[in-house]
Structure 1
Amino acid sequence: MVDFDVVSLPETDHVAEGEQAPDFTRPLVNDEFWADASLSELTDEGPVCLVFYPMDGAFPATYIWNELRDRALEDHITVVGVSISTPYAHKRLIEERGMAYDLFSDPANGVAEAYGVANDLDGMAGISEPRPATFLIDEDRTVRYVWVAAEWPDFPPYDELEHEIRALVD
């Protein structure tokens, strides 16, 4: 029995395939430390799978990162997350989940707004978080694949995402 309501999310004007991915600089957290980094620094090294997800501790974050971890996508591409959680919360999530992925901390949700995937939280004036979304971005910061949640909760089509990653990098 599902103990939550599935809710349709409003339409969004998100960054689309073929468009330039907005660059940004935020604290990028790994299992040891964090430091400011930009998306363009990451794409200079190769394609990036940018994964937007709700705050650390929310059950969708657990499901998304467990699935991505189990698929070992880091063997093929740089995978990084973006959420409103603090660097401290990100370090806990990385440790608890045994993740090999780095996470951008974006407490003001500006990156999600730039990508068109900000989701206003019901009953919390002025509070938003990213809706689940994935953007596959090549070395020129051209978006090659996009998936954006249309309802809450919703999860990336992992098989399709993995196929698109392999098609881009193999």
Structure 2
Amino acid sequence: MAQQRKGVATLKGNPITLLGPELQVGDPAPDFVLNKSLVDSVSLKDYAGKVKLISVVPSIDTGVCDAQTRRFNEEASSLGENVVILTVSVDLPFAQSRWCGAAGVDKVTLLSDYKDNSFGSAYGVLIEELKLDMRAIFVIDADDTIRYIEILSEMTEHPNYDEALQAARALI
């Protein structure tokens, strides 16, 4: 049974329960398996040697998630080739692909946690009541150590884009 963390987050003011550990800066990044398509998957090792900015969104088809993903897509080229931006949601891979095409998002990699919510559980952002991943940002260095974490206390709020980008730039 995954660790339950009650009272750390809300959805429109209503309490929700996050499942998984409360990760800290300095912790090794947990491995993950996420889907790029219905059959192709990736793990943390696929991004070895790169700085990873992981933008977690509940569902790509909502306003804040859309804006968050577009913002990181706009910033991606300024970070250089040693940084990869991954957007993680539980949306199906074909829905993510459709959204990227419609939005013109091409510098961020969208990955799906739909199969078993293993990313959400490993990173402590799986919402028990909704089986969605809570809005969060993780910056992981090239040696797979967590260097920045922001887990939003209210799902409908925007993350601190500037702090997350600054954390990634400091690792380049």
Q: What's the TM-score, normalizing by structure 2?
A: 0.80
SS across alignment from 1:81: strand
Who is 1:26 aligned against? 34
Q: CA deviation at 1:60?
A: 2.1
Structure 2: gaps of 5 or more residues: 1-10
Counterparts in 2 of 1:128 and 1:11: CA distance versus 1, 3 Å: closer
| Separation in 1, partners of 2:24, 2:166 | 18
Whether 1:134 and 2:137 are equivalent positions in the alignment is yes
Moved over 6 A (4+): none
Who is 2:120 aligned against? 112
Q: What does residue range 1-170 of structure 1 map to in structure 2 within 5 Å?
A: 6-7=12-13, 9=15, 13-28=21-36, 35-42=40-47, 44-72=48-76, 75-76=79-80, 77-99=83-105, 100-107=107-114, 108-121=116-129, 127-169=130-172
Structure 1: gaps of 5 or more residues: 122-126
Q: CA deviation at 1:87?
A: 0.9
Identity %: 25
Contact kept in structure 1, 2:69 and 2:87, CA below 8 Å: no
Which AA in structure 1 matches 2:94?
Y
Count of residues in correspondence between the two structures: 156
Contact kept in structure 1, 2:58 and 2:132, CA below 8 Å: yes
Q: CA deviation at 1:52?
A: 0.9
Q: CA deviation at 1:152?
A: 2.5
Q: What's the TM-score, normalizing by structure 1?
A: 0.81
Q: Deviations over 1:92-118 (max 9, x none)?
A: 121122112111111132211110011
Q: Which moved more, 1:76-85 or 1:9-18?
A: 9-18
